[in-house]
Every structure is written in C-alpha cells, then in structure tokens.
Amino acid sequence: MRIVLGVCGGIAAYKAALLLRLMTESGHEVHVVPTRSALNFVGEATWEALSGNRVHTDTFEAVDEVNHVLQGRNADLVIIAPATADFLARTAAGLAPDLLGNIMLTATCPILVAPAMHTEMWLNPATQANVATLRHRGITVLDPDSGRLTGSDTGQGRLPEPATIWDHAQNLVSPSAGALEGKHLVISAGGTREPLDPVRYLGNRSSGKQGVALAVQAARAGARITLIAAAMDIPAPQHPRIEVVEIESTRQLLDAVLTHSRGADVLIMAAAVADFRPRTVGESKIKKTAEQPVPVIELEQTEDVLATAVQTRNEEKNLPGLIVGFAAETGDEHGDVLTYGKQKLDRKGCEMLVVNQVGVGRVFGQDDTEVTILYADGREAVTATGTKDQVATKIISAVAEQFSGR
C-alpha cells in the first residue's frame, strides 16, 4: 500500500516517527511529507532513514514528475499526524501553500487526520468548525486524547498513540473489516525455487508482493493467517494474526499446504509455482571449464499443488471448502489469457481462480496489477485494477462474500 504520511509542526511530530515505523514494518511503502515547520522538530534525515524514501516538502520539487499531483493521486491512504490547528484551517479553506496542501486537494483515497494541539486551540469555535467541515467532506478526523501536553499543561489535545492511529487507518482501507473474523486462511506467496546444485536453482520472477498484500488484507478482515512464504523480494509482514512458514521448493510447498490447510477455512494459492525441476541435483557446484562440455539439464514436472489440494479436499473432506487458485498467463497464438484461465479453472477444480497477464515488466515485481476473478459456479467474472494492495482488498472481499454466502 502506498501511504503518504503528512507531518505538521508540533511537538508531537516525534510520535509520527513511531507511526512511520509501524507502517513500514507492516510492509507498506510510505512517503513522508513534512511541512517546513515540522522539520524544526524532526529533520529530513530521520524521515528518509525510517521510510527509505526521499522526503519532499516543496511544491516545486520534482516538477518534471508533476510531484504535487502524483503524490496525492497515487496514494492508497493519506495520514496527517500530527495535524495542527493551522493545517486544519488551511485544509478546510482549500488552500495549498505547500506540497502537503496540494496532496490534500488531489488525493482521492481515504484520508485520516490526527490533530494535536493545546486544549484551548482544539476547543476554539474556529477549529471545531474546521473539523466539522472536513468531516462533512468525508475526511476522517480523530478526536485528540486527553493527557499531558507541552510543559505542565494537561487536557484534551494530545496526539493519539501511534498504534491507535494505525488501527483507525487500516479500518479505512479495509472494506472487509471483520468479514472473516474467526476464520483461518492459508495463503501462499512468492516463487518456488528448484535446486540445480548447491549454488544454482531454477526459479521465477515472483516478488511475493501480491501474496503478502492478501495476507495483510485478510488479517485486517479479522482472519488468522498462515502465510506459506517461498522466495520473496520483500520481508514477510509482522502482524499478530499472521504466522509465517518459510519454504523453498514446490515439494516443500505441497507438504506445507497439506499440513497447514487441514481444518482451515480458505486456501489461497498465490505463490508462483515452478512447473519443472532438474531431474538430478548436483551434490557439488557444476564447474565451468574449457575441458568439459556444457551440461544438459533434463527436467521433470513438479507436483501440481493446487490440483492435489483440491483432490485431497474432495477425498478426505478435511481441507478448506473454499480454494482459490492463481493463474499467471501470457497468452499465445492459440488463446488469450482468459481463455487459458477458464481452462485452468475447469481443470484444477477450485472454486475461484484469479487470472493475470504476466511477463517482463508486467505484474512480477511491479506495484500495480490487473486481475480477473473467475468463479466455478458460473457467476459473472470480476475485474480488479490498481495497486496490489487495492487488488488484494478486492480479492479478500470476494472471498468473504463467497464464504459468507455458502
């Protein structure tokens, strides 16, 4: 998920650093946009070090990228913490004197504002009118906590704790919140690797982003998640509802799926599974020498994890009644992506199949994607486009609807 964290000039800005850490450790891409006054409290170096992204504050930075528009347009979520009384007033008036103001005018995603100020400023009729205006426009404005303020003052105006702000923010972007409460989902992610020798392997371009996004969204929907993680370019999410099981090969993936899916409610096979592996694996590194001919690698088919899971479920009745497959297709002269997807749905026997077109520069490793959800019962297919977090939200919503309707 792409998150813009706006930070205004108040002593509570140091808490925004803790909020930033919560978001990045959950696997999200966060761009911090501090106001110039905010940099008097926490400097650019801190924001860049914690976010891993360059910090912009001025409308005229990165003009060639139209940054003042793209930041808001590309965001999945905007959080302002802390928000000052001055920021509330400017935003209510529709003013955009800096980059953060422009983002507030261009963002179409959910926006969460967490004010922090002295009690008198919060209770001032002007501030209350500005808050009412923002809420009327659909912006979520939290009430500040009561407690110790700057100096010896105490009262309402304290910034809510970072964990509280993050919980509210996640609820804004998860329309399925609570829809899978008490359910157990097993989700696979990443790409399997088949060893050729102790050093080399056959693999694929899967980054694991889509599978991780599914796990995070399902956790937000209230489910308990077992994430079976093959090779991934991103870290596994740190979430109290998500247990991570690491595997490497397709055979290990199959074993993990059959083990952890027993008694689960839903299985989502988002991992990119290798179709072939070397028939023999070298015990030592295959050397490249002038004297030896180039080795010929003989391949054999790997296990069909999805079909085996469906067959085991049908025979033993102890695997999930709802199994969701993924089909990464390229299409060719014999058929397009959806044609092959429908054939795979019939062949595998799962209840849902998520189909996407892949290739170099498409889907694998990218932040944006487009998928089509096919249903075995013949209902109309659903298309989802956007960031992988947005698509994951759509898929989890479809799972929740399918599950609740059973």
What are 104's two structure tokens?
A: 């507030």
CB count in 10 Å sphere of residue 336: 12
Task: Please answer whether residues 370 and 341 qualify as being in contact, where contact means their C-beta atoms are separated by less than 8 angstroms.
Answer: no
Cβ distance 209 to 367 under 8 Å?
yes
- Tell me whether residue 317 is annotated as binding: no
Binding site annotation covers 367? no
Q: Residues 67, 102, 130, 204: which is the catalytic one?
A: 204
The structure tokens listed for 76 are 């999945």
Q: Are 264 and 184 in contact (CB under 8 A)?
A: yes
285 labelled binding-site residue: yes
403 assigned binding-site residue: no
Residue 241 Cα distances to 77, 161, 215, 237, 350, angstroms: 22, 21, 9, 10, 25
Strand partners, 29: 2
Which has the closest alpha carbon to 191: 328, 384, 377?
328
Chain center to CA of 16: 21
**What stretch of H or E contains 114?**
strand 111-115
State both tokens at 184: 């157990």
* Three-state secondary structure string covering 299-317: EEECCCHHHHHHHHHHHHC
**74 noted as active-site residue:** no
Is residue 344 a known part of a binding site? yes
Per the annotation, where are the binding residues for CTP? 275, 285, 326, 344, 348
Per the annotation, where are the binding residues? 275, 285, 326, 344, 348
- Catalytic residue annotation: 204
